[in-house]
Amino acid sequence: MRIQGLNPVLSETEVTGVNYSEAVSVNDAYGYEAFISATFTTIAPLVIASTGWAFATDIITSVGHGIKTGMVFQVSTSTTLPAGVSASTDYWAIYLTDDTFALASSLANAQAGTKLNFTDAGTGNHTLTIQTNVATFVVQSSPDETNWFTHDAMIAVSVVSAAQSKHFESAARFVRLAVTITKGAATLSGWVQSKG
């Protein structure tokens, strides 16, 4: 299949972790351009009283919080942090409901639903501040759609959004885009365009 014009190959909403586009069959000596756009979900700092931190269940309540799984926060406090939560430490969010969420110690734990254990609620008001989002954009190629090799990398670090474009020469039968989001939750779009 020869690519004609701009072909969408990736469309995901509020994802984290590793995401792959569909594979595109290529046959063009002039090469291709890849375009990847990542728009990160972001929110203002959340101030939650210690009464909203249920240490018996490790669940935090904040009505209409807007948090998505994979968002990364650091926690500060007006008085005393909950036991088990440290200042200047990244925590990954786990979305539970529109009004409840939990924290995890890593992206893998957040994706698995493994909640951070805090043994008391602390005192005062606790503020969750979103941290810089991180995504790595990669173009991969394959001779057979089974064995994939990194062909070109595009790194983006952004608080709000990031868009990258990259030209690469076709050296294989198939290409795909890979986006790894290690911090944050993003809506992804990706396209491939023939240079010929």
pLDDT along the chain (196 residues), means of 10: 54 90 74 77 94 98 96 97 97 98 97 97 97 84 86 58 56 78 87 71
In a domain, 1, yes or no: no
* Cα 173 to the center of its chain, rounded Å: 29
- Split into its structural domains, the chain has a count of 2
* Distance of alpha carbon 169 from alpha carbon 182, whole angstroms: 28
For the entire predicted model, the pTM comes to 0.83
User: What CATH code is carried by the domain that includes residue 148?
Assistant: 2.60.120.1110
Same domain, 104 and 90: yes
8-state DSSP, 44: P
Note the pLDDT of residue 172: 59
H or E segment and range at residue 151: strand 149-158
* Distance of alpha carbon 149 from alpha carbon 128, whole angstroms: 39
Note the pLDDT of residue 11: 87
For 20, the domain range is 6-41+135-194
Same domain, 117 and 141: no
